[in-house]
Structure 1
């Protein structure tokens, strides 16, 4: 089969483009459709029911555009809404969660830092995941204001660097050797974090794992695009086209979507 329908991805903003990049690197021939709901960012400060409603709206729109599979490229939406999405829609739906498993398996100090949104860290799903590793101490930090600053174009601002320094200090003092980035916006912080953290601390995010899992699901369901033509991508944002464009250049052109 040669299924040319796009892979649909959505996030609360531009953060999910980090997942898109991992996906595009692994599956460059697949067509993709990305929706960043920056108008409602961050999802991490919304109620569970609000997150479910927004996630259903995003998924329905992507499927209306012909998406053959959905990637919930948002940790908060995954932990709060993915069960509802799978019960509502018939296409395969893939979620993203903080990559605490590889960090817990690889840690030598028994201390792992997790930087994530409030919606992820306070979710039942995340609490249960930590219990699987009783010998590991997780130093959890809610990334207050990080998503907002990134969404407003302040990735390289002094404000963000000072904020990260504040969040990282307790982790450094606790002697973590792995830092898990539990929000798809956060891989964009790696250059700053590499300046702030000792060189022995390894940073882990979920993008590559999600891309590999997507490949397996497409293959198992005969959904792969097999014609070897380079894939096309359409990017949509519900708020600031210029900010979205600054993150996706040179991969494509962002368009404004008004629901």
Structure 2
């Protein structure tokens, strides 16, 4: 495998672009290929077997395109399928999980909130992570409807505000001082969330940590790109690509592809 080969990234839609942005900022010398499986979003409502099947499908496509490493830029896919992916494929995988550890370790009120998808919160991996912080009160909230609204480009809509207020106000009342975002779509909601949360509540997502881990694994496997030619950032979406283009802020190298 050449170090010039791209990093492969997939998500159940456009949310994982929040992870791509962190990876690209930290590793601008890398080529990347991003798959937005928007046709099947959200993964969080699907059974585990189907999430594994979709994750394998996305991995197969990225490997066919020559990717040297796969970033599963989806909390639901990671918590439900990463074990099976690592067992099936001989390629490094980077997963993403809610950043419970830093929130739990830094909380002064010993109470944190986690906003995540149903698929993540109901997963075995998530349950184990929560169980390891029995000294901290963890308030879990499934973000029903949030991914769909992001995928529809309705980030700043009244519907989004209504849902976020419904999900966050009980956490505020419970005296959380950290809010963990457990879905890669949710960082795009931070401006909305900040309007609802008091200033003292800190918001944590996993983007920078995933980018750093990607860098570490590339170094460990001697796969950092050392070639000097123009870098390519390519995006494929299996539905209307307008929202993907809007959220990226550019249209070049964004393609609609059936997969």
TM, length-normalised to structure 1: 0.97
Distance 1:194 1:251, change over 3 A: farther
Contact 2:2 2:68 in 1 (8 A): no
Q: Which residue of 2 aligns with 1:207?
A: 207
Counterpart in the other structure of 1:139: 139
Q: Deviations over 1:30-75 (max 9, x none)?
A: 0000001000000000010000000000000000000000000000
Q: Output the CA distance in 2 between the equivalents of 1:172 and 1:185.
A: 22
Give the secondary-structure state (helix, strand or coil) at the position aligned to 1:114. Answer: strand
2: CA distance, partners of 1:39 / 1:194: 30
1:231 Cα shift?
2.7
Tell me how far 1:226 sits from its aligned partner.
1.8
Deviation at 1:227, TM superposition (A): 3.2
Task: Provide the aligned C-alpha RMSD in A.
Answer: 1.3
Q: Which residue of 2 aligns with 1:176?
A: 176
Report if aligned partners of 1:2, 1:224 keep a CA contact under 8 Å in 2.
no
Counterpart in 1 of 2:108? Answer: 108
Following the alignment from structure 2 to structure 1, what is the Cα–Cα distance between the partners of residues 173 and 202? 15
> How many residues are matched?
259
Measure, in 1, the Cα distance between the counterparts of 2:60 and 2:195.
41
Matches of 1:250 and 1:109, distance apart in 2? 42
**Unmatched runs of 5 consecutive residues or more in structure 1:** none
Q: Secondary structure at the match of 2:179?
A: strand
TM-score norm. by structure 2 comes to 0.97
User: Is the 1:245–1:253 Cα contact (8 Å) retained in structure 2?
Assistant: no
What residue in structure 1 maps to residue 121 of structure 2? 121
The aligned counterpart of 2:220 is: 220
Give the aligned partner of residue 42 of structure 1. 42
The offset of 1:251, in angstroms, is 7.4
1:158 partnered with 2:127: no
**Is 1:9 the counterpart of 2:3 in the alignment?**
no
Q: 1:44 to 1:241 in 2, by over 3 A?
A: same
**For residues 74-116 of structure 1, what are the alpha-carbon distances to aligned partners after superposition, in whole Å with 9 as ceiling and x for unaligned?**
0000000011111111110110000000000100000000000
Give how far 1:141 is off.
Answer: 0.3
Report the Cα distance in structure 2 between the residues aligned to 1:134 and 1:192, rounded to whole angstroms: 30
Which digits, 9 at most, give the CA deviation of each residue in 1:119-154, with x for residues without a partner?
000111111101111110111000000000110111
Q: Answer yes or no: is 1:89 the counterpart of 2:89.
A: yes
Unaligned runs of 5+ in 2: none
* Aligned partner of residue 214 in structure 2, secondary structure: helix
Distance across 2 between alignment mates of 1:79 and 1:174: 27
The aligned counterpart of 1:54 is 54
Contact preservation (8 Å) 2:36, 2:236: yes
Contact (CA 8 Å) 1:30, 1:230: kept in 2 or not? no
Structure 2 residue 232 is the aligned partner of structure 1 residue 232: yes
Counterpart-to-counterpart distance in 2, 1:2 and 1:26 = 20
Matched, 1:19 2:19: yes
Match of 2:98 in 1: 98
